[in-house]
Structure 1
């Protein structure tokens, strides 16, 4: 059986496997925290919830860098636009 530990603030700590349901420690549950960035357990409701702020979640998202081809295409488009407008580079 898989169990999921939480700390004194009910924040997820990790998981472990045990053999007997009766051996679940007080700071653990058999309910998995699925799909959360910073899972927090609510023992009264027997459920996990998200404790991360939107800012924290946004900071975890990867910053996608444009490929070299995309950069060259953008530079080319800007150059063509400048030339079509009669501008000087």
Structure 2
């Protein structure tokens, strides 16, 4: 019994090795066309997106940094300091909005007092 490493029609590893038993009559192994006995390892390490070069009989790494980043899980949750910074920024925005509202209300009150002083006519 041996392990084989199947790949798709484009040459990319299918993700799981398979076990191959010898032919019961001849005792020899018949490796499928889209498989190899060479593990998808380079320099003793696994690969992100192994591609098999059937001419050179070797696996080649085809993953770029964008692909690797897409496989990573979510980033670490924000630290307490980052959370406090975000809360502070949100509070500053609310404070600025409240100040604008106060200024507009003060202007409306001043305009109303001016109208009253001029005789109450609009």
**Greater share of residues in strand:** 1
Unaligned runs of 5+ in 1: 80-89
Structure 2 counterparts to residues 6-85 of structure 1, below 5 A: 6-13=7-14, 14-20=16-22, 22-34=29-41, 35-62=46-73, 63-66=75-78, 70-71=79-80, 75=84
Deviations 1:37-82 (A, max 9, x none): 111001111111111221010222231224xxx415974xxx9xxx
TM value normalised by structure 1:
0.68
Matched residues in 2 for 1:12 and 1:31: separation?
Answer: 11
SS in 2 for 1:40: strand
**Greater share of residues in helix:** 2
Matched residues in 2 for 1:65 and 1:30: separation?
Answer: 42
Q: Displacement of 1:22 after TM fit?
A: 2.5
Deviations 1:6-46 (A, max 9, x none): 11110111321012252111110011113111110011111
SS in 1 for 2:29: helix
- The structure whose Rg is larger is 2
- After superposition, the CA RMSD in angstroms is 2.3
Unaligned runs of 5+ in 2: 23-27, 89-122
Point out 4+ residue stretches in structure 1 off by more than 2 angstroms. 72-75
Q: Please say if residues 3 and 19 of structure 2, whose CA atoms lie closer than 8 Å, have aligned partners that are also in contact.
A: yes
* Structure with the larger RCO, 1 or 2 (CA within 8 Å, 6+ apart): 1
